[in-house]
Amino acid sequence: MRKFYGKNASQLIEEELLLDAKGCLLDPEKSVQDVAELLNFSDQSAFCKFFRRCCGVSPGAYRKNECIEKE
């Protein structure tokens, strides 16, 4: 995979998971807990750690930022 995409399989999966997470967080009907469950994280804390590591902000801060930008 690295040969074709320049990334290993876990990096590609992580990117897709992050895209899914960002999309789900834009839905105001879904809580962060709902998103964590939907994406099969063991709990909300694990999801928040993953999201912060990848984006540099918490899921709540990301959601707030995106809502402000859309206004």
Q: What is the pTM of this model?
A: 0.85
Distance CA 45, CA 7 (A): 27
CA 71 to chain centre: 22
Report pLDDT for 8: 87
Q: Kindly give the interhelix angle for 9-25 and 44-55, rounded to the nearest 10 degrees.
A: 110
Predicted confidence (pLDDT) per residue in 26-63, tens digit: 999 999 999 999 999 999 999 999 999 999 999 999 99
- Number of domain units in the chain: 1
Q: What is the domain range of residue 41?
A: 2-70
* Angle, CA 41 vertex, CA 37 and CA 43 arms, to 5°: 80
Half-sphere exposure of 27 (CA within 13 A, CB side): 12
- Give the domain CATH number at 57: 1.10.10.60
